[in-house]
Chain A
Amino acid sequence: MMKINTPKKKRVLRELEKRAPKLVETGKKTLILQGLKTSNVLNSVLKEIYHLKRDSSVRYTRKNDNIRPFESGGETSLEFFSQKTDCSIFVYGNTSKKRPDNIVIGRTYDHQIYDLVEVGVENFKPMESFKYDKKLAPMVGSKPFITFAGEGFESIDELKHLKEVLLDLFRGEVVESLSLVGLDRVYVVTAVSSDRVFLTHCAVRLKKSGSVVPRIELVEVGPSMDLVVRRHRLPNESLRKEAMRISTDGLKKKIKNVVGDSIQGKIGKIYMPDQKIGEMALPNKAKGVKRERREAKLKHSEHAAKKRKEDGAD
């Protein structure tokens, strides 16, 4: 015996539709959470990441004992949270003696763990320690530039993986059109050595230059840290293939007002606006309106008046 359950409230229906799988995806939500032990540094790192991604992230502040991303049994909690909050990237922070200031950045596919990267945070400088002109501060939710520099990103596996994950983490919403006025932040990631990466967040100043293209100036604004890659887990091939699939159905644009088949051919409908013929000026002037006619009439009437006068006088 089965029963069909549909939501009775429109609000619930809207939420369910937001969480349904879409053809074209617009930005992933991030879940930020912590383990049993966190240090001061880790707390501020997680706080700053949350602030950088304010609108599209959820922060859990309680300690979670049973999360061990790299172990086979320790992922169930993460998957449950991912399902509950509809987040597909998570940032899990934990400190231990073996791995101080540890952050695991992971992604999920269909609320199952897809891949993981574990990095250690060193030389962390929070947002408050940077002094800059407050007018330059980037707005929350603006789409950032992301730059990677270093041959390590091409040659070393872990750094390649880290590059992909950082791109996914920091890119904002996927938009079709962008306002050029709202470009105000950039994440600069540089590969310093084979396992160390320097990440910083800067504000962008567009200065007048000779041409249409402005000159760029970067001002360090936000947190800056060194990320040391510790472990990583790549997705297995089949899962990766499925996650990278693109569908061509959604790319076809609907063409309106055109019907047709092979026998009749293509038939289109054209809608004309109201032509307002009654208010249009005629191209040929009416006979009575033409100047010669008018003048002739005048003369005639004058003539006639004169004649009558003469006759009358006589």
Chain B
Amino acid sequence: MEAENQMQVDLGHLLAFDPYHHFPSPPKSREELVTQCLSEGTKLVQAVVDGLFNLTSTEALEGPLVKLPKPTTRLPREKHLPRPKPPTKWELFAKSKGIQKRKKNKVLWDEQTDSWKRSYGYDRVNDDADVPIIEAKMTDEPGGDPFAKRKEEKKKRVEKTEKNRLQNLKQAAKIGALPSHVQLAATALPITGTQAPPKKITKDELGSVAGLAATATASGGKFDKKVAGEKPVKHQGKHRKFLPAAEGSGMGNREKEQTDKVLNKLMAKNSHEILNVGKAVSMYNVKKQRDGRNQKGRSSFDSSSKLKPNGKPMKGDKKSPYQKSRKGGSHGGGSKKGKAE
């Protein structure tokens, strides 16, 4: 009799299970089924609530808080158990030698500045790079830079730690215990023999591959069957632009411009002058004019310009050794900034 009334209650999941329930007679209508199920459900929930309210409760803001016991029904996990990290190379070494970990202070007293400074990081005590004077030892060769040497040594040390860290992570990845925030990515494929590493193909190059392959056919890919979604070839046809055979002379003469450009480039390349003579001369002239004007304005009333009836300066006044050279003249006048192309 008692066994029939047993209900399995799992407080950890708030679960109640009655394995002995059955319908004495099949319910005639839907409503009856529903009411019967609800009544059964009420009994079961009452059983759980009985158990719950009899647990020791503590007072919280909203009401009583109970500590739920561990659930009795076992459910499968969703992910594997976290695997323990394998010991790193240093940890193995320390264990074999019996080296204990020592607690280090985060701040240390700095004698030079009389303050507490970090032991690592920005503005740290005993920074290797902050030493102002390094005395030369007998073993040092003359002409060597000790500061650069220190920098190089530090770089080497950092590289070594990075390499060791990578090795430790690779070991962990082998047994599947890589930390969740770390990912190991392959940077380049291994180079076999004398083969160079394959070049990364750009999106544009990939797009034009079909067009490139089409040029192998006799008709230049005009009658090739296109796949759905294939875009037509860009820059079809000729790739070289030729100038018209006959054209007038003057400013718009394209062939002249072409040859002038080539000539200028050659001259600029082969001229060893650093000075841009044209620009220097014009700057000199401007300065002289400015100075002359200031002087004249202060000393005498009759400036050369005011004597004239129009008030304009004389036409031939400006003494300029600089003659307006044609484009493409000598002295590297073609390139304005004097840069060798």
Contact = CB atoms under 8 A, between A and B. Distances in A.
Interface of A: 1-7, 13, 16-17, 19-23, 25, 28, 88, 107-110, 114, 123, 143-151, 153-154, 163-164, 167-168, 171, 175-183, 186, 188, 190, 192, 198, 200, 202, 204, 206, 212-218, 220, 224, 235, 240, 242-247
Contact of A192 (B23, B183, B186, B187): B23
21 contacts: A2-B184, A3-B185, A4-B169, A6-B183, A23-B82, A28-B78, A146-B15, A147-B48, A151-B19, A167-B75, A176-B67, A180-B57, A182-B62, A183-B52, A188-B40, A190-B40, A198-B34, A200-B38, A216-B49, A220-B38, A243-B76
Contact of A198 (B33, B63, B68, B78): B33
A243 B67 contact: no
A228 B94 CA distance: 63
A146 B34 contact: no
B168 to A, nearest CB: 10
B37 A149 contact: yes
Nearest to A154: B19
Ranked nearest first, the 7 interchain pairs of A and B with the lowest CB-CB distance are: A20-B180, A188-B41, A88-B78, A243-B76, A181-B63, A147-B44, A21-B79
A167 B36 CA distance: 22
A7 B15 CA distance: 41
B77 A109 contact: yes
B20 interface: yes
A184 to B, nearest CB: 11
Contacts of B300: none
Contact of A16 (B45, B68, B180): B180
B93 interface: no
B62 A179 contact: yes
A21 B45 contact: no
Contacts of B17: 147-149, 153, 163
B80 A242 contact: yes
Contacts of B15: 145-148, 167, 171
B13 A167 contact: yes
Contacts of A246: 74
Contacts of B40: 147, 149, 188, 190
Nearest to B18: A149
B187 A3 contact: yes
Contacts of A19: 180
Contact of B77 (A3, A7, A20, A25): A25
A190 B62 CA distance: 33
A22 B187 CA distance: 30
Interface of B: 13-23, 30, 33-34, 36-38, 40-42, 44-46, 48-50, 52-54, 57, 60, 62-68, 73-82, 165-166, 169-170, 180-188, 190
Given A21-B79, A23-B81, A2 B45 contact: no
B52 to A, nearest CB: 7
Nearest to A188: B41
A216 B34 contact: no
A154 B38 CA distance: 20
A25 B74 CA distance: 12
Contact of B65 (A123, A145, A177, A218): A177
A182 B18 CA distance: 24
Nearest to B52: A180
B65 to A, nearest CB: 5
B172 to A, nearest CB: 11
Q: Which of B38, B52, B63, B190 has the most CB of A within 10 A?
A: B38
B14 A2 contact: no
A146 B57 CA distance: 22
Contact of A164 (B23, B45, B48, B75): B75
B68 to A, nearest CB: 5
B29 to A, nearest CB: 12
B187 to A, nearest CB: 5
Contact of B79 (A4, A110, A154, A180): A110
B182 A5 contact: yes
Contact of A218 (B19, B30, B41): B41
Contact of A179 (B45, B46, B60, B181): B60
Contacts of A224: 34
Contacts of B67: 176-177
A106 to B, nearest CB: 12
Contacts of A182: 62
Contact of B66 (A16, A180, A242): A180
B147 to A, nearest CB: 30
Contacts of A153: 17, 19
Given A177-B66, A180-B57, 13 more contacts: A1-B187, A4-B169, A6-B182, A23-B81, A114-B76, A147-B15, A147-B40, A150-B22, A151-B20, A171-B15, A182-B62, A245-B81, A246-B74
